[in-house]
Chain A
Amino acid sequence: LDPLRAQQLATEVEGEMMADMYRRMNSAYHWKCAPMHYKEAELSKGKSVYLDCCVSKYLDIHEWIGKKLTELSMQNEELMKRMQQSSAPV
């Protein structure tokens, strides 16, 4: 498996996970944000704004958690390096 192919596969995995994120956001909108009663087919102005807020908040949370996880993984890496350095023979 050469590096280019590995990169391609990694990109595919990321794309798949983006689609998964979209599905979850969709599901969250329908279960949490969308009004339950269906009076008409059209989306009113109020409901559109509500939908925009829902999506915007979901994506903000997604970004926020991404940063948090990156921070944590970097902290973990540094910790591992320090442990390796301290346990390495002098």
Chain B
Amino acid sequence: MRPGGAMEPQQQQQQLRNLRDFLLVYNRMTELCFQRCVPSLHHRALDAEEEACLHSCAGKLIHSNHRLMAAYVQLMPALVQRRIADYEAASPGPSVAAEQSGTSPSGS
């Protein structure tokens, strides 16, 4: 049991990265919804129409973010596998050398 219940450094780094990503998404959402929902700047306060638009904007962005992540998580592994396979096919050096050294003693 670590003193003070401190987390591992890797976990803390990961948490920091998550915090950073979350805040970045937050800022982007603010910017986007401001651009799309605020047509005029004659009043200081947000009126009912703008609030309704913000509600839809925020909801839509959050849902699309979730869906994007789900699709990414689903599709990315296959892509990475294909890339690895292509790379291995393009540079067969170590495996070919291993095969040659394996077959030569039996051939002599």
Contact = CB atoms under 8 A, between A and B. Distances in A.
Contact of B30 (A13, A53, A62): A62
Given A13-B19, A28-B31, A57-B46, A66 B38 contact: no
B43 A53 contact: yes
Given A6-B12, A9-B16, A68-B58, A20 B35 contact: no
Interface string A30-62: 011100000000000000001011101110111
Interface stretch (B20-28, B79-87, B93-101): B20-28
B31 A33 contact: no
Given A1-B12, A57-B38, A68-B58, A17 B27 contact: yes
A17 B46 contact: no
B38 A24 contact: no
A72 interface: yes
A21 B44 contact: no
7 contacts: A1-B9, A2-B4, A20-B24, A21-B27, A50-B41, A52-B44, A66-B26
